[in-house]
Structure 1
Amino acid sequence: MIYNIAIDGPAGAGKSTIAKKVAGELSCVYVDTGAMYRAMALYLLRRNVNRENPDEIGEACQGAEISIEYKNGEQIVLLNGENVNPFLRKEEVGNMASVSSANPRVREKLLDLQRKLAASMNVVMDGRDIGTTILPNAEVKIYLTASSFTRAKRRYLELQEKGLCCDLEEIRKDIEERDSRDMNREISPLKQAEDAVLVDSSEMTIEEVVKRILQIFHEKVILSDEVGKNES
């Protein structure tokens, strides 16, 4: 039986961290769609594409070839053959990704690869429209969120640990602006799927969130599979 776990939520909710840990616990493949969109954003930034021009973005993105491979259990994102993992978490890349990911031609280019991966193996996939658009039939759907202050504080501490100067209120403002763009874009806006389970991590540790999602997986996949076998 092939199963898919979709984890959606706003920027800074911890989706990638949680998805990786859940995938590790279940020995399945973690597919970070956000990293794929960030790779596309990096490509557009390197080509100095005007973020305000949808046609220019749609045309330029055709030259990007993005793929995923695993080496020693680590996901490697390749942009035209280059490992671009070190560049994907930069703020300017994230901001461009929020804009370019709403472009229909960008989404079309990446959508097919993501669905093929999910159809061929057990995956945990995280993003902003996994459960609503990319994998609408996923066996488990999670909407992972946290307050904007909590998400900003997490990002603030992360940047401080790297020795970078930052302002908490500016980060919070940026997060709220990104939330607004993602929730109000015309193509696949960020929203909770009707059958997704809401998990608010504001007052939870990483371990507690992982445990909760594994519990949901057990209830929706393992127990339902056992019931099906007993009935047959």
Structure 2
Amino acid sequence: MNRKTPIVAIDGPVGVGKSSVARTLAEKLGFLYIDTGAMYRAVTLKAMRNDLPLHDTNTVAELARNTRLQFIRKAGILKILCDNEDVSEAIRSPEVSAAIAPVADNPAVRQHLVALQQAMGREGNIVMEGRDIGTVVFPDAEIKIYLDADPKIRAQRRYLELQAKEKEVTFEKTLQDLIERDERDANRPVGALKKTPESIVVDTSNLTQDEVIEKLYQIVMDSIR
């Protein structure tokens, strides 16, 4: 694909800080930021609210096809709208996290959302993050980055994030959930988490968020100069 402007594909496991890093990196570059995981979470939330059986692939796929998803910036903060409702906070609940697997593994849902993601990023100048951006959504992305970190460090980050939102969780439960999620993500039948041979791996275990953003910014700038 011949693009005048690049696609920055960021993949990595849960709790590695993809969303916050990708969002700030996009702002620094003047690119559009797309959080693909939020799209699957929004469909999951809507299905849960409608009491749909999440393992009913046809019903959930039809729901996804009839759901309007948008990203907007409000007061400088990126929000995701599901059928015009701001669900940015609701999709981050532990309940949605625990329920998302059958929705994310639904081939028809993934086919629909991947097509939406490709349409959003077709012209380039985007930072898109998820777990299969560099392998499935944009295998021809000009810049592929894989963020990683020690599981205990990722669990601690996630635990503090949930505590800040006044969620009743323990570190031990957060770590166990993360380990189980890593296993599921690596072995999903569709959209499994994988590094590509050309991915630039960045271990964030001992880096601050600002240091990670600066490192990625330099990677992008070196690639487009």
- TM-score, normalised to structure 2, is 0.92
Q: Deviations over 1:108-146 (max 9, x none)?
A: 121122111211241000001001110111111111111
Q: Which amino acid aligns with 1:105?
A: A
Q: Give the length in aligned residue pairs.
A: 222
Is structure 2 residue 180 aligned with structure 1 residue 194?
A: no
Q: Deviations over 1:147-205 (max 9, x none)?
A: 11111111112222333332111111101111111110111211111211111111111
1:41 corresponding residue in structure 2: 44
Question: How far, CA to CA, are the matches of 2:207 and 2:168 in structure 1?
Answer: 27
Question: How far, CA to CA, are the matches of 2:94 and 2:32 in structure 1?
Answer: 26
Is the 1:2–1:119 Cα contact (8 Å) retained in structure 2? no
> What's the secondary structure of 2:92's corresponding residue?
coil
1:96 corresponding residue in structure 2: 99
Is the 1:16–1:126 Cα contact (8 Å) retained in structure 2? yes
Bigger Rg over Cα? 1
- Residue 35 of structure 1 deviates from its aligned partner by 1.0
Unaligned 5+ residue runs, structure 1? Answer: 223-232
1:218 corresponding residue in structure 2: 221
Question: How far, CA to CA, are the matches of 1:78 and 1:92 in structure 2?
Answer: 19
Of the three residues 41, 66, 69, the one matched with 1:66 is 69
- Pairwise mapping of residues 45-194 of structure 1 onto structure 2 (< 5 A)? 45-194=48-197
- TM-score, normalised to structure 1, is 0.89
Unaligned 5+ residue runs, structure 2? Answer: none
Deviation above 4 Å: which 4+ runs of structure 1? none
> What's the secondary structure of 1:115's corresponding residue?
helix
CA RMSD of the aligned region, Å?
Answer: 1.6
- Residue 36 of structure 1 deviates from its aligned partner by 1.1
Is the 2:55–2:103 Cα contact (8 Å) retained in structure 1? no
Q: Percent identity?
A: 38
Question: How far, CA to CA, are the matches of 1:141 and 1:174 in structure 2?
Answer: 27
